[in-house]
Structure 1
Amino acid sequence: MAADFWAGYISGAIGIIIGNPLDVVKVRLQAGDSHSNAPSTQLTRFERANSLIRGAAAPILGYGALNAILFVAYNRTLTALDGPVTDPTNPVGVSPYSIWLAGAAGGLASWTVSSPTEFIKCRAQLDRRPEVSSWAVAKDIIRTRGWRGLYFGGAITSARDSIGYGFYFWSYELCKRYMTSNDESSHQAALKVLLCGGIAGVVTWASVFPLDMIKTRLQAQTIADHSPRATEAQSLLRPQGQTLNSFQIAKETYRAEGIKAFYRGLGVCSVRAFIVNAVQWAAYEWLMKSFTKSLGSEVKTQEPMTAA
């Protein structure tokens, strides 16, 4: 299988392992009311220490696959738009516009994995019952909503992913180009990848955070019937048991809590995004170079010897 598939898969899994604890805080801040806007408030509600890894199983498996599809689709779309790229980790000469489009295409392609993974993760992180796991949540969704229920909130998830990943690749490549120098050492190159990866993560989440907040509250509605300690947002967004759509959630949230509600948790998310994406991009580029070098060596050893 292609080098970018495995590089994307492994780096994606690494990113989830590192970033899941802060992601739990981010999701609970998004789903909470205007009085629960401090990470310390959310942390005191964790039933056990394992709450910090709540919902990690689905993302570790799913996000690895998502990241693999994302990078494969991105690289193939970039090739279709601008011709063959000699080094996928350094697309010199490719326009920023093409990079954004390729990133958006990659985000759409990864939707088949990201939508159910996000729904399961969100439900697992918001459910206060200590016995709830990703697997239990997945089985409950399938039992109550069928297999199609795994894609609840899929439309806003696909919009978030398409826009977000467009800015993800665009900001990363633009940052690398601005920081490139002719005489940089290997140490400087590694630091550049870490810094640019971190910046790309922050830019991405800043560009789509309101959409992510709406997605979280949309999916949080489905937990109300299964947990006596549902999140505070339930009472706000589900009057008389009504299930609201994305537009209604945005309207009701703005009416009740103002514009700040759409960015609640962005600080925690930005810290997480910088750390996770710095490591993830560094892992991806290192794996790509290692796999490409390994594949190149195999090709050379398999070439038939010619007579002198």
Structure 2
Amino acid sequence: MGADNDNDSDGLSRTLKDLFAGAAGGVAQVLIGQPFDIIKVRLQTTSLYSSALDAGRQIYAHEGALAFYKGTLTPLIGIGACVSVQFGAFHEARRRLETWNKKYNPGRSELTYAQYYLAGATAGVANTVLSSPIEHVRIRLQTQPHGAAALYSGPLDCIRKLISHGGGVSSGLYRGTGVTLLREAQAYGVWFLTFEYLMKRTMRHTRREDIPAWKIALYGGLAGEALWLASYPLDVVKSKLQTDGLKKGEQVYKGAVDCAKKVWAKEGVMGFWKGLAPTLMRAMPVSAGTFFVVETTMRLIN
């Protein structure tokens, strides 16, 4: 019984450390990436701008510098929780897969690269329950008119109106959750797989804890690029669904499949890649900062 309690205590301690390190990485992610994200969303959901540079210039000219941090409170709280869940779920899935390997494949406890993808996809699925409403609120705040014409006074007002005008929690606040789940699974499967692949290659010559900080940041940045290249079309569909009209008579899209068909018919294949350039510009520093903070935090608290 004592041994079981010790194992339970160790497991809880590891999980709490994973969650804490992920939360720290999430805060860094939001602070670094929010200006890039608002440009990405504007390019995905409107045709007012000719390029990412034009979008940034117009947002600054018409709305001021603080406009690049519109809707930041929601992701600052929410993305911290999301990244915490991502890393917590990933490492829990990794440990369970290691246990499975030991049991059914004696002599091999390390994960295969397919299993790293599976652990990452599991993290994405677990994260969806938080990321779907958080991103919906953030996108609505980022794309609303400026000044007196603003539709929402803040995150709580936005949540209230999404629920009341959108037909409830599931069809209002959680609109676009199906495609969000697909995006999260694919995105975080590739994200964690890419980072761990690069780390494992380096670990042929050195221990993980001895890998220098600049390499961790570089590998994290490359993982961020891979994440978006692997999942961007799903993100475009999600953004369009989450900026569509709330009431049935105002909605352009019946769902994710209908949205994808209409994007293809109107804009062709390139319609699924609008806003990619600022997204990739954002992905490198944001993902680099996230993995750097998480790995550094884990080294400090372990």
TM-score, normalised relative to structure 1: 0.81
Preserved CA contact (<8 Å) 1:56 1:134: no
Structure 2: 5+ residue stretches without partners? 1-12, 102-108
- Match among 22, 35, 38 for residue 36 of structure 2: 22
Q: Verify: 1:261 aligned to 2:239, yes or no.
A: no
State the 1:187 CA deviation.
8.6
Q: Verify: 1:275 aligned to 2:289, yes or no.
A: no
Q: Verify: 1:196 aligned to 2:209, yes or no.
A: no
Cα 1:183/1:76, change in 2 over 3 Å: closer
SS of equivalent to 1:74: helix
1:10 — aligned with what? 24
Cα 1:239/1:138, change in 2 over 3 Å: closer
Single out whichever of 9-18 and 177-186 deviates more from structure 2. 177-186
Question: 1:76-225 maps to which residues of 2 (within 5 A)?
Answer: 76-83=92-99, 93-130=110-147, 131=150, 132=152, 133-145=154-166, 146-148=168-170, 149-180=172-203, 182=205, 189-222=212-245
1:55 — aligned with what? 71
Count of residues in correspondence between the two structures: 273
- Match among 45, 53, 59 for residue 40 of structure 1: 53
Cα 1:139/1:50, change in 2 over 3 Å: farther
Structure 1: 5+ residue stretches without partners? 86-91, 226-237, 293-308
In structure 2, what is the Cα distance between the partners aligned to 1:136 and 1:48?
23
Q: Deviations over 1:47-92 (max 9, x none)?
A: 232210011111111111111111111111111112299xxxxxx9
State the 1:249 CA deviation.
1.3
Single out whichever of 251-260 and 185-194 deviates more from structure 2. 185-194
State the 1:14 CA deviation.
1.3
2:9 — aligned with what? none
| Aligned-pair identity (%) | 27
Preserved CA contact (<8 Å) 2:78 2:130: yes
2:6 — aligned with what? none
In structure 1, what is the Cα distance between the partners aligned to 2:111 and 2:207?
22
Preserved CA contact (<8 Å) 2:44 2:239: yes
State the 1:134 CA deviation.
2.8
Q: Give the alignment's Cα RMSD to 1 decimal.
A: 2.6
1:304 — aligned with what? none
State the 1:240 CA deviation.
7.3
In structure 2, what is the Cα distance between the partners aligned to 1:274 and 1:77?
26
SS of equivalent to 2:243: helix
Preserved CA contact (<8 Å) 1:36 1:42: yes
